[in-house]
Amino acid sequence: MLTTLLLTRKTLNIGTWNIRTMFESGKTAQVAREMHNYNFVVLGLCETRWKQSGQLRRTTGEMVLYSGHEESNAPHMEGVALLLTKEAQKALIGWEARGPRFITASFRTARKNIRMNVVQCYAPTNDKSDEVKDGFYNQLHDILSRLRNQDINILMGDFNAKIGSDNTGYDEVMGRQGLGKMNENGERFADACALNNVVIGGSVFPHKRIHKATWVSPDLITENQIDHICIAKKFRRSLEDARVKRGADAASDHHLVVAKLSLS
């Protein structure tokens, strides 16, 4: 019997986390421990700093799918990964490494003709050139445009994008629960969500400020909401919540973002 990941009337947790690096001893074990603490089945990771692409299975059973720079002389920068529980591995249909900023995976759900597709991203920072940003969003659009409309498509990661609470012009894909004011990267991100019909989860659910802020600026004062989990607008009702969990610790200046999903 094939294992499915997303069931009706049963909630599962997925998350995204910029952990700053996996390129140090013990970091994978630390992240896996927090994954189990928060009962995730799939955890997306940003800024892993691993090069090339591949998969590895930990002795405790979790599997890491990773994607980074392919060049042997490339620096240990950027990189993305997906950490899967045994349950998620059994439901995995396939995955694809797409360079240092994207990785995708597809999972079976309880509905025969519907998959759950996860796209984990790591976007350029606000100070990068327009050329770099355009390249990222062109690649993102290409990835999303290839996904089936009948599937539950999840877009998540560190987008380095402040979306704010003013959803004027974006009310189809944004609520008014975002933090702060939209910046240039936030506008690009919101435009991409509108173009691809995905809803920004962190803008929809009312939470305290501390459960919205995903990263604190170097001034240690300014709180930012730049890590996001989104879902295809068609399946908006399957997203039950999206919020920050501040208790998770992996020596990162980013907080863990969690979404609760069910098959509605």
Residue carrying structure tokens 């720079």: 69
Tell me the per-residue pLDDT of 30-61, one tens digit each, with 9 for 90 and over. Answer: 999 999 999 999 999 999 999 999 999 999 99
Handedness of CA 76, 157, 10, 179 (dihedral sign): positive
* Averaged pLDDT score across all residues of the chain: 95
**What confidence score (pLDDT) does residue 220 get?**
82
For residue 234, report the phi and psi dihedrals to the nearest 5 degrees: -60, -30
CB 28 within 8 A of CB 72: no
For tokens 């392919």, the residue is: 70
pLDDT of residue 264: 79
Q: Residue 178 phi/psi, 5° resolution?
A: -70, 165
The answer to whether residue 1 scores a pLDDT higher than 70 is no
Residue 221: which pLDDT band, with cuts at 50, 70 and 90?
Answer: confident
Please report the pLDDT score of residue 195 as a whole number: 97
Number of H helices, E strands in the chain: 4, 15
- Give the pLDDT score at 8: 81
Q: Which residues pair with 216 in a beta bridge?
A: 223
Handedness of CA 41, 154, 28, 34 (dihedral sign): negative
Q: Quickly list H helices, 74-180.
A: 86-91, 130-145
CB 7 within 8 A of CB 91: no
Dihedral sign (CA 160, 182, 235, 36): positive
Parse the chain into domains and list their residue ranges. 12-261
CATH architecture observed for domain 12-261: 4-Layer Sandwich (3.60)
Q: What is the pLDDT of residues 145-182, one digit of tens each?
A: 999 999 999 999 999 999 999 999 999 999 999 999 99
Question: What's at 138, amino acid-wise?
Answer: N
Q: Among residues 32, 25, 75, 68, which one has the least CA distance to residue 48?
A: 68
Give the side-chain half-sphere CA count within 13 A for 97. Answer: 18
- Using the predicted structure, report yes or no on whether residue 2 has a pLDDT greater than 70: no
